[in-house]
Structure 1
Amino acid sequence: MDTVIENSTKIIATLGKLFKRDDSMPEFEVLSKGLCDIEVTGFDNWNGGTDIYGIFCRLPIDVYSKYEHEIQSIEQSIRKKAEMIFRIYPNCWVGEVVISPELSGEMDGKAYTFSVEELLELLEQQKAMMISVSTGGPMIKTVNSEYKERAEMIEEGLLERGMVNTNQFEDLWTWHGKWSDGSLPNYASRRKFVSELFGPMLEAVKNLKSKVINPVFEEPTGWGRVDRSVGEIKLRLTQASTEEQYQAIGLLCRETLISIAQEVFIEEVHPILDGVTVSKTDAKRMLEAYIAHELSGSSNEQVRKHAKASLALANDLTHKRTAEYRLAALCAEATNAVVNIIAIISGRRDPR
């Protein structure tokens, strides 16, 4: 029995107590109210072999929403604290902490309060108003109530899609305080600031329809770690706006391929094609062996080629520095294709 996995409940409880002791309530609430698991996510050949673990916390939507803007910092904080505990386990280290909203079947067929087109229009109107009042347009007192009403609608439209509102100016007087403090001395600087503020949100909303990770199969595969990773990829692709965030999607895709390879590959059944000794994280070789064995024979040649091509694309993209949306989206789509192909081959997509 894996000692870390065996002690996972105690590790999570100890982490929670340490954060409560330090009066770090966000971390404590995540660990105490979330469904937290520790799982093996990889293997490193360094120092005779090192197991890499991930801590995964699925939060009720109300708790996730409460800390949505702090998720990455909370993940880093928990990981840092966990490293102290993991020192007692030889050849083990914490590779990642992932906090995500708990999936709910109640969202199936949900009719959003605002359509994508309506949400885009609201964002464009808000952007235009902020520029207008700061560049000689209407007086704030005449349009502030309209701005605040629209801000509530935008917040609702973004929140129900699990997206972050990067415009933190709750009213136009707050915005006035920003542009009048000397940091935005002229009209051009104010236009640029507002455009950069709304740019990532507008791009994310425009791409919502193309960011459906699994358009054919909406049901999870049943492989917990794989389904969690796919859900996390979808969420982060929707929210990403920086180079580091896009690169993180590539890393998640790589871990997803490793996870599904570890689910289906059986060394005694699926011989490695080039005969090398395969490591626990060599997803490409493991999945190639699985595909070759499960889709053997001339009748499966075209299906085998498609599966191998999807795997090759996903593997290539996960090793690139995915510093922009398009590469990250392609990486997510290719990875999802591999997940579904393997799920189909394994019988997990068969009608029940």
Structure 2
Amino acid sequence: MSDAIDGLFDPRRNETPPAMSIDALRGLLQAQANTIVSVGTGGERIQNVDGQWQRDTRTLNANFRRLGLEPPFPWNGLWDWHGFYSQNLATYHERRTHVRELTQAALEQLDNIEARGGIHDPAADDDSPSWENLNARILGLIEEYSSARDRDGWQDVGRRSREILIDFGKLIADPSLLPDGQPAPKAGDAKAWFDLFLAKYAVGKDKAELRSTMRAVWDLAQKVTHGDIADVDAFAAAQATVLVVRTAQKLLRDAE
């Protein structure tokens, strides 16, 4: 049997919860709600499910906060829920109704985020070791845009976009990109490495528009970082940054 305060000493409490998509959050929200209802209506025993429920709640709450949303349930553990319904909700019907209302409010928050329009990453499941850090940065950018609500937030999106492009420039920096006799750009000159990359992998008149579009993204990210901008500018910078990285990734793979 598990003690009611065991969750306070769970060594995993200090682990960073994984980031989740909105669809995955909906699934976890439903599972958490079902468990709350079950233990409050004569189903599961709290001591059998509380540890897992607390771990999942930390993940759920962290992801809601990452999106700038209010966490759905006010209890850190199922014993807290037990104390609440024992004092306030006498019948099973009242308990089910209360949990359903909280769950519906949380779903509406997620629906509003989705309706607002999010950043799409066509290669979110890429697991290339050399791109792993960049993939994590892109996920962070998507989350940053999802929670941005004012100019400061939108400018943060621009900063993240610019940082991703700089990291990308470092990732593709390779002496093989240099024409014969040309000295290498400085290590931190990501834009110069990016231009060298395009000169090699997007060469020719038929790729002129592609080169121009990809170069313009650098200027857009810079503008969103410092300019008097709106939501649409932040969206464009973030989505374009993902486009540049994934297009370059495809250029590399096609060449290989």
What interval of TM-score do these two structures reach, taking the shorter chain for normalisation? Answer: 0.5 to 0.7
Paired residues of 2:17 and 2:58 also in contact (CA < 8 A): no
Could you tell me the TM-score, scaled by structure 1's length? 0.42
Task: State the AA in 2 paired with 1:329.
Answer: F
Contact 1:317 1:331 in 2 (8 A): yes
Contact 2:162–2:221 (8 Å) recurs in 1: yes
Aligned residue pair count: 177
Alignment of 1:120-135 (within 5 A): none
| 1:307 counterpart = 2:210 | yes
Aligned-pair CA distance for 1:152 = 3.0
- Give the one of 223, 236, 246 matched to 1:340: 246
What is the CA–CA distance in structure 2 between the aligned matches of 1:336 and 1:67, rounded to whole Å? 24
Q: Is structure 2 residue 146 aligned with structure 1 residue 238? A: yes
Partner of 1:166: none
How high is the sequence identity, in percent, across the aligned residues?
Answer: 12
Bigger share in strand: 1
Give 1 or 2: higher helix fraction. Answer: 2
Q: Which amino acid aligns with 1:154?
A: A
Q: Distance in 2 between matches of 1:349 and 1:149?
A: 53
**1:307·1:338 contact (CA, 8 Å) conserved in 2?**
no
Moved over 4 A (4+): 68-72, 146-151
C-alpha RMSD of matched pairs (Å): 3.8
The one-letter code sitting in structure 1 at the alignment partner of 2:61 is: K
2: CA distance, partners of 1:336 / 1:265: 19
Higher relative contact order (CA 8 A, sep 6+): 2
For 1:207, the equivalent position in structure 2 comes to: 116
CA offsets 1:55-85 (integer angstroms, 9 cap, x no match): xxxxx8643433457669xxxxxxxxxxxxx
Give the direction of change, closer, same or farther, for the CA distance of 1:315–1:272 in structure 2 (3 Å limit). farther
1:65 aligned partner: 60
Shift of 1:331: 0.3
Query: CA, structure 1 residues 156+309, in 2 after alignment: closer, same or farther (shift >3 Å)?
Result: same
Give ranges in structure 2 of 5+ residues lacking alignment: 1-7, 19-54, 68-96
Q: Which of residues 185, 199, 218 is equivalent to 1:292?
A: 199
> Which aligned pairs between 1:1-352 and structure 2 lie closer than 5 A?
32-34=14-16, 62-68=57-63, 150-158=101-109, 202=112, 204-208=113-117, 211-214=118-121, 216-220=122-126, 222=128, 223-266=131-174, 268-271=175-178, 278-296=185-203, 300-303=204-207, 305-320=208-223, 321=226, 323-347=229-253
Deviation at 1:284, TM superposition (A): 1.7
TM-score by length of 2: 0.56
* Residues in 1 aligned to 2:124 and 2:62: alpha-carbon distance in whole angstroms: 27
- Structure 1 regions of 5+ residues with no counterpart? 1-24, 37-59, 73-145, 162-201
